[in-house]
Chains A and B, each alone.
Chain A
């Protein structure tokens, strides 16, 4: 089967709407198809991967831990908008330390999160074959 570049565009936070969790469900399924997968976190989407989410008080499932599993599925390109972080008073240290083991580099652990400028994001988006928005 041909390999295509898939981007998952996430622009909403985790709990206010269903989009974040159902997007993650698609990404986990997508892993089985061995396509080139990237995730983009723009606007309030950056809150999906903020460290320290606790949903106990709202009676909803805290699915943020699931992001840690993505590295095991070879999903290791999580592009985060630098401008969106900055606008929200966040920086990369506020995000979960998501990582993967690079099989081409003696299984060295490397960060999956890449903070990118708008110009870099623009270039990455223009390389995609399919963009799924949530």
Chain B
């Protein structure tokens, strides 16, 4: 499955709820304000393990728009919108943590 998270983990619990229920094969794509969780910050440990497994993606346009390209946490994979489409196609059902 693909899980999309569009909220900053400093603002809402969407990322936490997603992490609570994600299975061992699913991946996360951070979009919109969700990319704030892709930056290196005090919440980075939340996703460090998943990122190390190569299972955390962030939408490049949103990262750049928020000025955090040079401040990314380790092992975050950037994708453009075409990459977003590929993730949707490859990972089956999409769950949006809106």
Q: Which residues of A contact B (CB under 8 A)?
A: 9, 11, 42-43, 83, 118, 121-123, 125-126, 128-131, 133-134
Contact A118 B20 (CB under 8 A): yes
Q: Would you list 15 pairs from A and B whose C-beta atoms are within 8 A, ordered by A residue?
A: A11-B17, A43-B13, A83-B20, A121-B21, A122-B21, A122-B22, A125-B21, A126-B23, A128-B93, A129-B93, A130-B93, A131-B94, A133-B95, A133-B97, A133-B98
Chain A nearest CB, measured from B92 CB (Å): 8
Contact pick for B95, options A83, A118, A123, A131, CB 8 Å:
A131
Contact A118 B21 (CB under 8 A): yes
Given known pairs A11-B17, A43-B17, A126-B1, the reply for A133 and B23 (CB within 8 Å) is no
Binding site of B, secondary structure by majority: helix, strand, loop or mixed?
loop
B41 within 8 A of A: no
Besides the contacts A42-B17, A125-B23, what 5 more A-B pairs have beta carbons closer than 8 Å? A123-B23, A131-B93, A131-B94, A131-B95, A133-B96
The residues of B that contact A129 with a CB separation of less than 8 Å are: 93
Q: Which 6 A-B pairs have the closest CB atoms?
A: A133-B96, A131-B95, A122-B21, A118-B20, A133-B98, A122-B23
The residues of B that contact A9 with a CB separation of less than 8 Å are: 95
Q: Could you give, for residues 63-98 of chain B, a 1 whenever the CB lies within 8 Å of some chain A CB and a 0 otherwise?
A: 000000000000000000000000000000111111
B44 within 8 A of A: no
The residues of A that contact B98 with a CB separation of less than 8 Å are: 133-134
Residue of B17, B22, B96, B97 contacting most chain A CB atoms (<10 Å): B17
User: Roughly how many angstroms separate A128 CA and B20 CA in the complex, as a whole number?
Assistant: 17
User: Roughly how many angstroms separate A123 CA and B93 CA in the complex, as a whole number?
Assistant: 13
Given known pairs A83-B20, A118-B20, A118-B21, the reply for A125 and B95 (CB within 8 Å) is yes
User: Residue of A at shortest CB range from B1?
Assistant: A126
User: Roughly how many angstroms separate A42 CA and B21 CA in the complex, as a whole number?
Assistant: 10
